[in-house]
Amino acid sequence: MSKKKVIAVIVEGPSDEAALGPILKEYFSSEEIQFVVVHGDITTKDYTSVDNILSKINHLIESVKQKYGYNIDDFMKIIHITDMDGVYCNNAIVEGDV
């Protein structure tokens, strides 16, 4: 039997992993799912910019490779899931007397 391919899933927090983990592991049952929890939005933290986002994601994948002993060829895909935290809701919250 051949070794399972790895799908790395980058999520913001442990609750994202808890909510999505069982679903993704069932959907991708023929692959191995490894979650990378970044505790926030990697695209807006730690001085992340368009110029360095790929290197930051590469750093995350390197940590998964080292932790589990994977080679780059073991990876099938990398999925990055972010939430929008109401980004399109400019006037959704209005203060008023009630």
HSE-up (13 A, CA, CB side) for residue 59? 10
- Tokens representing residue 69 in the block: 């002993």
- Give the distance, in angstroms, between the CA of residue 83 and the centroid of all CA atoms in the same chain: 10
Give the predicted TM-score (pTM) of the model. Answer: 0.79
Question: Which alpha helices (DSSP H) does the chain contain, by range?
Answer: 14-27, 53-68
pLDDT at 89: 66
Mean pLDDT of 45-49: 80
Q: Please give the share of the chain, as a percent, with pLDDT higher than 70.
A: 86
pLDDT exceeds 50 at position 1: no
pLDDT at 70: 95
Q: What is the pLDDT of residues 62-97, one digit of tens each?
A: 999 999 999 999 999 999 998 766 666 666 667 778
